[in-house]
């Protein structure tokens, strides 16, 4: 590995949590092969059928509480701790496996499954129980506005200004476990590369944006991420 990096940005997607037992979206048995995302991951779907959307996220929340971080999450947390430069994880995932593995410098651009948002007053808070339309917001007291604090299609991802600042400043951009099909995240590699960063893809198979990466390692995250991190730390 040539050159010493100082500012690393990591983008993670569902593939990094696949070996923890959480489903991906677009693989052969992915979530979007079982549910229509328009029904369960859009504001319109929520307005049409709140019980269906709550059931979808309640099942995913229960699954997450039974899951554990894997060796890939652990390797990234180790990188943040041991790397002499700065490491930021931008995750598309709504699970908390990066946190549970020890990552602290983290942006959940698509929100968090273990938080609930009041659509009326905008208050967000940690939430591990089931959500339903019969709940009142602990802040404003109104009933029927509680929703998972996740970003649905058509909604603005969180902390985008900060994300673009960090992409412009990084000298190494590593994409892990994402198909590179959903924007704005799918455009981050081009953004980083335009500002001179080296770009690396770590994924089970070549993603949609594979040609934009100067280096690619393909295989299961629990194998290729620890290998890559130890290479970075041995610089």
Q: Is omega for the bond preceding 184 within 30 degrees of 0, making it cis?
A: yes
- Tokens linked to 203: 């994924």
Q: For residues 200 and 174, is the Cβ–Cβ distance under 8 A?
A: yes
Can you tell me which of 27, 86, 123, 133 binds ligand APR, judged by CB under 6 A? Answer: 27
Residue 187 as a binder of ligand APR (CB under 6 A): the answer is no
Size of residue set near ligand APR by CB under 6 A: 23
Q: Which two tokens stand for residue 82?
A: 């041991």
Q: Of 44-52, 121-129, 159-167, 203-211, which segment contacts ligand APR by CB under 6 A?
A: 203-211
Q: Is 108 in the active site?
A: no
Give the bridge partners for 174, in sequence order.
10, 200
Q: How far is the CB of 3 from ligand APR (least distance, A)?
A: 25
**Cα separations (Å) of 149 from 50, 129, 152, 155?**
14, 13, 9, 12
- Identify residues 55-94 at the interface with ligand APR (CB under 6 A): 92
196 CB burial (10 A radius; 0-12, 13-18, 19+): exposed
Choose the stretch contacting ligand APR; rule: CB under 6 A; options: 21-29, 113-121, 137-145, 193-201: 21-29
Q: Which of 54, 73, 98, 110 is catalytic?
A: 110
Tokens of 40: 């369960």
Single residue of 221, 226, 229, 232 touching ligand APR by CB under 6 A? 221
Among 20, 175, 199, 207, binds ligand APR (CB under 6 A): 207
Q: Which stretch binds ligand APR (CB under 6 A): 52-60, 115-123, 132-140, 204-212?
A: 204-212
Radius of gyration of the chain (CA): 18
Please give the C-alpha separations between residue 231 and each of 33, 204, 224, in angstroms, as whole numbers: 36, 19, 11
**Interface with ligand APR includes 18 (CB under 6 A)?**
yes
**Which residues are catalytically annotated?**
110
Site of interaction with ligand APR (CB under 6 A): 13-15, 18-19, 24-27, 30, 92, 110, 177-179, 181-182, 203-205, 207, 220-221
């Amino acid at each position: 590995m040539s050159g010493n990096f100082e500012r690393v940005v990591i983008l993670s997607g569902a593939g990094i949590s696949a070996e923890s037992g959480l489903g991906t979206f677009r693989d052969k048995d992915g979530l979007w092969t079982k549910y229509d995302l328009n029904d369960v991951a859009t504001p319109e779907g929520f307005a049409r059928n709140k019980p269906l959307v709550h059931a979808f996220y309640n099942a995913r929340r229960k699954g997450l509480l039974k899951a554990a971080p894997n060796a890939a999450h652990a390797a990234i947390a180790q990188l943040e701790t041991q790397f002499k430069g700065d490491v930021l994880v931008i995750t598309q995932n709504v699970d908390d496996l990066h946190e549970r593995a020890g990552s602290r410098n983290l942006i959940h651009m698509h929100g968090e499954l273990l938080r609930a948002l009041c659509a009326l007053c905008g208050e967000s808070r940690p939430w591990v129980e089931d959500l339903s339309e019969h709940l009142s917001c602990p802040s404003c007291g109104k009933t029927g506005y509680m929703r998972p604090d996740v970003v649905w299609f058509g909604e603005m991802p969180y902390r985008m200004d900060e994300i673009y600042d960090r992409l412009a400043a990084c000298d190494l951009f590593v994409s892990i476990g994402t198909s590179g099909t959903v924007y704005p995240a799918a455009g981050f590699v081009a953004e980083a590369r335009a500002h001179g960063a080296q770009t690396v893809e770590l994924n089970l198979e070549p993603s949609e944006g594979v040609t934009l990466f100067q280096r690619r390692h393909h295989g299961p995250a629990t194998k290729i991420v620890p290998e890559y991190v130890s290479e970075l730390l041995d610089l």
